[in-house]
């Protein structure tokens, strides 16, 4: 699968934003939930996935 330059750039941006939001939300939830790890273990994964989809998903019309 060959990616165009704009797609690669979008992917990197999406990954960066996703990781950044994941870290911020994890810290926020960690503080709010009285440091109970089980309640937010999966949150960063969902945030990163949604961040990637938000950047790369709808913009597939440039081919």
Token couple for 48: 């990163």
Rounded-to-integer distance, Cα 51 and Cα 38, Å: 22
Rounded-to-integer distance, Cα 38 and Cα 22, Å: 16
Rounded-to-integer distance, Cα 13 and Cα 54, Å: 11
Residue 63 — very low, low, confident or very high, per pLDDT cuts 50/70/90? Answer: very low
Closest CA to 30 of 45, 49, 43: 43
The ranges assigned to domains in the chain are 16-55
Residue 62 — very low, low, confident or very high, per pLDDT cuts 50/70/90? Answer: very low
With a threshold of 0.95, does the pTM exceed it?
no
Closest CA to 54 of 11, 3, 20, 9: 11
pLDDT tens digits along 4-59: 887 788 778 877 877 787 777 777 776 766 666 655 666 667 776 776 676 666 55
């Amino acid at each position: 699968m060959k990616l165009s330059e704009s797609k690669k750039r979008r992917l990197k941006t999406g990954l960066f934003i996703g990781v950044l939001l994941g870290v911020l939300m994890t810290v926020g939830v960690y503080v709010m939930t009285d440091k109970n790890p089980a309640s937010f273990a999966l949150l960063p994964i969902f945030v990163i996935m949604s961040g990637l989809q938000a950047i790369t998903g709808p913009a597939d019309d440039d081919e």
